[in-house]
Structure 1
Amino acid sequence: MRSYAIGDIHGHLDLLLHAHDLIAEDRRQTGDHDAPVIHLGDYVDRGPECRGVVDHLATGTARGENWITLKGNHDRMFTRFLRDPFEPEEGLRTELSWLHPRIGGAATLASYGVRNAADRPLTPVHQEAIEAVPQSHRAFLDARPTWHQRGDCVFVHAGIRPGIPMQAQHETDLVWIRSGFLEDMRDHGFLVVHGHTALDRATHYGNRLNIDSSAAYGGPLTAVVIEDRDVWLLTDRGREPLQP
Structure 2
Amino acid sequence: MRTYAIGDIHGHLSLLQEIHDRIAMDRRATGDHEAPVVHIGDLVDRGPDSRGVVEYLRQGIEHGENWVVLKGNHDRMFTGFMRDPARCDPGLRRDLSWLHPRLGGGPTLESYGVHHAADRPVGVVHREAAELVPEEHLAFIEALPIRYQRDGTIFVHAGIRPGIPFAEQAEDDLLWIREPFLSDPRDHGALVVHGHTAIDAVTHYGNRLNLDSGAAYGGPLSAVVIEGQSVWQLGQDGRAPIA
Give the TM-score range, shorter chain.
over 0.9
Residue in structure 1 matched with residue 148 of structure 2 by the alignment = 148
Q: Provide runs of 4+ in structure 1 moved above 4 Å.
A: none
For residues 67 and 98 of structure 2, the distance between their equivalents in structure 1, rounded to whole angstroms, comes to 27
Is residue 168 from structure 1 mapped to residue 177 from structure 2 by the alignment?
no
For residues 51 and 109 of structure 1, the distance between their equivalents in structure 2, rounded to whole angstroms, comes to 8
* 1:188-203 alignment, distance < 5 Å: 188-203=188-203
Q: How many residues align?
A: 243
Residue in structure 2 matched with residue 157 of structure 1 by the alignment = 157
* 1:76-225 alignment, distance < 5 Å: 76-225=76-225
State TM-score, norm by structure 2.
0.99
Residue in structure 1 matched with residue 9 of structure 2 by the alignment = 9
Q: Which amino acid aligns with 2:69?
A: T
Q: Secondary structure at the match of 2:38?
A: strand
For residues 129 and 78 of structure 1, the distance between their equivalents in structure 2, rounded to whole angstroms, comes to 11
Residue in structure 1 matched with residue 20 of structure 2 by the alignment = 20
Q: Secondary structure at the match of 1:68?
A: strand
Q: Which amino acid aligns with 1:208?
A: R
Q: Which amino acid aligns with 1:94?
A: R
Can you list the C-alpha shifts for 1:152-208, whole angstroms capped at 9, x where unaligned? Answer: 100000000011111111100000000110000100010000000000111000000
Q: Secondary structure at the match of 2:233?
A: strand
For residues 202 and 130 of structure 1, the distance between their equivalents in structure 2, rounded to whole angstroms, comes to 37
Cα deviation for residue 229 of structure 1 reads 2.1
For residues 210 and 175 of structure 1, the distance between their equivalents in structure 2, rounded to whole angstroms, comes to 14
Cα deviation for residue 88 of structure 1 reads 1.6
Structure 2: gaps of 5 or more residues: none
Q: Secondary structure at the match of 1:161?
A: coil
Q: Which amino acid aligns with 1:111?
A: S
Provide the aligned C-alpha RMSD in A: 0.5
Structure 1: gaps of 5 or more residues: none
For residues 130 and 189 of structure 1, the distance between their equivalents in structure 2, rounded to whole angstroms, comes to 43
For residues 216 and 229 of structure 1, the distance between their equivalents in structure 2, rounded to whole angstroms, comes to 29
Residue in structure 2 matched with residue 235 of structure 1 by the alignment = 235
For residues 166 and 126 of structure 1, the distance between their equivalents in structure 2, rounded to whole angstroms, comes to 36
For residues 229 and 46 of structure 1, the distance between their equivalents in structure 2, rounded to whole angstroms, comes to 33
Q: Which amino acid aligns with 2:217?
A: Y
Q: Secondary structure at the match of 2:174?
A: helix
Q: Secondary structure at the match of 1:51?
A: helix
